[in-house]
Structure 1
Amino acid sequence: MTIHVALLRAVNVGGTGKLPMAELKALCEACGFTRVRTYIASGNVVLASPGSAERVKAKLEAALARHAGKPIGVMVRTADELAQVLAAHPFPEAAPNRALVVFLDAPPPPDTLARVSHRTVEEIVLGRREIYVHYGEGMRDSRLRIPAAQAGTARNMNTVARLVEMAREAAAR
């Protein structure tokens, strides 16, 4: 069994993307995934599956589309891949709630940095299939636009660190 972390796009506690985490957990279990645990109400799931990350993604996206009546994007990383994302975090001195990673299905396009707009103090570093962003004094007043990030889903480094910990716990069970 491989431990995977699934990160849903546009899922939160309110609005059009509302999906209670109890429903998400039940949906994952109905897909045949085991050791399912969710983390905060923004679409974070740790699960075990014998299938590849691509297979987990396809199965979960199909189930979510049936459940929600519309497509919901999912980014999937194995526990090891997520740990590597955390280890590669290029802003270790930054407050973890002011630094985030945008998870993508593919490497960021070569023109990612050239297409960024409204950048002031924000720092941006491209990863393997991620975009790391440090917002300096915070996101509240930032008008930063990263077109390549629209295809992904973002999590702050506190959340990434907690998901890595949860994945390790799931692997030990």
Structure 2
Amino acid sequence: MTTHLALLRGINVSGHNMIKMEALKTTLEAIGFQNVTTYIQSGNVFVDTDEENAPKVGFLIKQEIFKVFGHEVPVIVIAKEDLTACFKNNPFLKEKEADSKKLYVSFVSIALKKESINDLKMSQFKPDEVAIDENRIFIKYAVGAGKTRFDQKYIEKKLNVTATIRNWNTVTQLLKMFEER
């Protein structure tokens, strides 16, 4: 059995794409996923399956959500190693007085090159900062996520990827949950 973490983008946000976590859990169990566990209402779902291919797992989840709930929901599936790499490679954690409330991670659907940072044109978002590490974009918001235009929609448009953003506290809790499985 392989444990996958599916990050669903854009559910239960401002009254859109509403899905109760218990209904999602039941739906995913009905198509054969085991030990389905959700974390908060924003679409963080652990599943166990014999399927090792993460994109295939994501496709199955996306397809079933559309079939049952009628929502077109992008899904990014990541492994425990991805979350572990977040802690190891996040340059903003190395800063002397890092404020975890201003740290976020955007998980993207493809591995990015270091040069992709040029495509983001970050100078227009100063003093927000970013760093790219494969399929993750580490973000340090100067004021907060709610007061910037540097968001998931902007990332998707500029890099032609699917992206979903999680705050650092959520990333920390998800890694803890992965370790407890």
| Equivalent residue, structure 1, for 2:35 | 35
Shift of 1:169: 1.1
Matches within 5 A, 1:48-63: 48-51=48-51, 52-63=53-64
Q: Distance in 2 between matches of 1:166 and 1:16?
A: 27
Aligned residues: 170
Aligned partner letter, 1:116: K
* Matched position secondary structure for 1:16: coil
Shift of 1:145: 5.4
Q: Cα gap change, 1:74/1:145 in structure 2, threshold over 3 Å: closer, same or farther?
A: closer
User: 1:77 aligned to 2:78?
Assistant: yes
| Equivalent residue, structure 2, for 1:26 | 26
User: 1:160 aligned to 2:163?
Assistant: no
User: 1:113 aligned to 2:118?
Assistant: yes
User: 1:130 aligned to 2:126?
Assistant: no
Contact 1:100 1:156 in 2 (8 A): yes
- Residue identity (%): 30
Contact 1:12 1:42 in 2 (8 A): yes
Aligned partner letter, 1:101: V
**1:81-126, Cα deviation, whole Å (9 max, x unpaired):** 2222232222114322211111111023644433335312111001
Aligned partner letter, 2:165: A
**1:2-41, Cα deviation, whole Å (9 max, x unpaired):** 1111100101254122111111111221121111110110
Of the three residues 127, 140, 145, the one matched with 2:146 is 140
| Equivalent residue, structure 2, for 1:88 | 89
Q: Distance in 2 between matches of 1:139 and 1:145?
A: 8
Q: Distance in 2 between matches of 1:50 and 1:95?
A: 39
Shift of 1:141: 2.7
| Equivalent residue, structure 2, for 1:101 | 105
Aligned partner letter, 2:131: V
Q: Cα gap change, 1:149/1:108 in structure 2, threshold over 3 Å: closer, same or farther?
A: farther
Q: Give the TM-score normalised by structure 1.
A: 0.87
Q: Cα gap change, 1:156/1:149 in structure 2, threshold over 3 Å: closer, same or farther?
A: farther
* Matched position secondary structure for 2:118: coil
Aligned partner letter, 2:31: C
Structure 1 or 2: more helix by fraction: 2
Q: Give the TM-score normalised by structure 2.
A: 0.84
Q: Distance in 2 between matches of 1:141 and 1:63?
A: 34
Contact 2:17 2:71 in 1 (8 A): no
Contact 1:122 1:136 in 2 (8 A): yes
